[in-house]
Chain A
Amino acid sequence: MVSQLINANPVVYEIKDRPARVRQPAEEDEYGADPIDQQEIFDILSTVVVVRRLNHIRDIKDPEHPYTLEELKVVSEDAIDVDDKQSHVRVTFTPTVEHCSMATLIGLSIRVKLMRSLPSRFKVDIRVAPGTHATEDAVNKQLNDKERVAAALENPNLVDMVEGCLSKTYL
Chain B
Amino acid sequence: MEVEGEVELKELCRLEGHTDRVWSLAWNPAAGGDGVPAVLASCSGDKTVRIWRQNLAADSWDCTAVLDETHTRTVRSCAWSPSGRLLATASFDATTAIWENVGDDFECVSTLEGHENEVKSVSWNASGSLLATCSRDKSVWIWEVQSDGSEYDCVSVLQGHTQDVKMVQWHPVSDVLVSVSYDNSIKVWAEDGDIDDWRCVQTLEESSGGHTSTVWALSFNSNGDKMATCSDDLTLKIWDTSGSFQIIDDGHSPWRHICTLSGYHHRTLFSVDWSREGIIATGAADDAIRLFVEDKHSPIDRPSYKMILKKEKAHEMDVNAVRWNPKDPRLLASASDDGSIKIWQCSC
User: Residues of A with Cβ closer than 8 Å to B?
Assistant: 120-121, 123, 141, 144-148, 150-151, 154
Q: Please report which residues of chain B, range 223-241, place their CB below 8 angstroms from some CB of chain A when the two chains form the complex.
A: 232
> Cβ of B45 and Cβ of A145 under 8 Å apart?
no
Question: Do A123 and B267 form a contact, CB below 8 Å, given A147-B166, A150-B45?
Answer: yes
CA gap between A141 and B73 in the complex, in Å: 23
- Contact between B214 and A141, CB atoms less than 8 A apart: yes
A151 pairs with B182, CB closer than 8 A:
no
Contacting pair A154 B73 (CB below 8 A): yes
Are B92 and A151 in contact, CB atoms less than 8 angstroms apart? Answer: yes
From B120, B285, B317, A120 is in contact (CB under 8 Å) with B317
Q: How far is the CB of B217 from chain A (nearest CB, A)?
A: 12
Find out whether the CB atom of A151 lies under 8 angstroms from the CB atom of B118. Answer: yes
B316 and A123 form a contact (CB under 8 A): no
Cα distance, A124 to B42, chains bound together (Å): 26
What's the minimum C-beta distance from B288 to chain A, rounded to whole angstroms?
12
Minimum Cβ distance to chain B for residue A88 (Å)? 9
User: What's the minimum C-beta distance from A27 to chain B, rounded to whole angstroms?
Assistant: 22
Q: Per a CB cutoff under 8 Å, which of B74, B164, B182, B267 touches A150?
A: B74
> Which 5 residue pairs across A and B have the least CB separation, nearest first?
A154-B73, A151-B118, A151-B92, A120-B317, A154-B92
| A residues less than 8 Å from B317 (CB atoms) | 120-121
Determine if B120 and A123 form an interchain contact, defined as CB atoms under 8 angstroms apart.
no
Q: Which residue of B lies closest to A142 (CB)?
A: B182
**Is B214 in contact with A145, judged by CB distance below 8 angstroms?**
yes
In the complex the two chains form, is B316's CB within 8 Å of A121's CB?
Answer: yes
19 contacts between A and B (CB under 8 A): A120-B316, A120-B337, A121-B317, A123-B285, A123-B286, A141-B182, A141-B213, A141-B214, A145-B232, A146-B285, A146-B337, A147-B120, A147-B166, A148-B182, A150-B21, A150-B45, A151-B92, A151-B117, A154-B92
B100 at the interface (CB under 8 A from A): no
Contacts of A148 in B (CB 8 A): 136, 164, 182
- The answer for the CA separation of A142 and B189 in the assembled complex, in Å, is 27
Number of A-B contacts (CB under 8 A): 37
For chain B, residues 257 to 275, give those with C-beta under 8 angstroms from any C-beta of chain A: 267
* CB-contact partner of A145 in B118, B182, B337, under 8 A: B182
Which of chain A's residues have a CB closer than 8 A to the CB of B136? 148, 151
Enumerate chain A residues within 8 angstroms of B232, measured Cβ to Cβ: 144-145
Q: Is the interface of B mostly helix, strand, loop or mixed?
A: loop
Task: Enumerate chain A residues within 8 angstroms of B214, measured Cβ to Cβ.
Answer: 141, 145
Known contacts: A123-B267, A141-B214. The answer to whether A146 contacts B92 by CB under 8 A is no
Binary per-residue interface labels of chain B (289-319) against chain A in the complex, 1 for a CB within 8 Å, 0 otherwise: 0000000000000000000000000001110
**CB atoms of B316 and A154 under 8 A apart:** no
CB contact between B318 and one of A141, A146, A154 (< 8 Å): that residue:
A146
Interface flag for B338 (CB, 8 Å):
yes
A154 and B213 in contact (CB under 8 A), knowing A145-B182, A146-B318? no
Which residues of B are found within 8 Å of A144, using beta-carbon distances? 232
- Scan residues 191-216 of chain B and give those whose CB is less than 8 A from a CB of chain A: 213-214
Query: Could you tell me the distance in whole angstroms from the C-beta of A136 to the nearest C-beta in chain B?
Result: 14
Residues of B within 8 A of A151 (CB): 74, 92, 117-118, 136
Residues of B contacting A146 in the complex (Cβ-Cβ under 8 angstroms): 285, 318, 337
Chain A residues, CB < 8 A from B166: 147
B162-174 vs A, Cβ < 8 Å mask (1 yes, 0 no): 0010100000000
Name the interface residues of B102-152: CB closer than 8 Å to any CB of A: 117-118, 120, 136
The interface residues of chain B lying within 8 Å CB-to-CB of A145 are 182, 214, 232
How close is A159's CB to chain B, nearest CB, in angstroms?
A: 13
Chain A proximity of B309: nearest CB distance (Å): 21
| Chain A residue with Cβ nearest B216 | A147
Contact yes or no, B338 A120, CB < 8 A: yes
Taking the nearest CB of chain A, how far is it from the CB of B304, in angstroms? 30
Expressed in whole angstroms, the Cα–Cα distance for A141 and B211 within the complex equals 14
Complex Cα gap A22–B31 (Å): 59
Q: How far is the CB of A84 from chain B (nearest CB, A)?
A: 16
**Mask: chain B, 312-342; 1 = CB below 8 Å from A; 0 = not:** 0000111000000000000000000110000
Q: Chain A residue with minimal CB distance to B47? A: A154
Complex interface: chain A residues within 8 A of B267 (CB): 123
- What 16 additional pairs, Cβ within 8 angstroms, besides A120-B337, A144-B232, A146-B285? A120-B317, A121-B316, A141-B182, A141-B213, A145-B182, A145-B214, A147-B76, A147-B166, A148-B136, A148-B164, A148-B182, A150-B21, A150-B74, A151-B92, A151-B118, A154-B92
CA distance A90 to B198 in the complex (A): 44
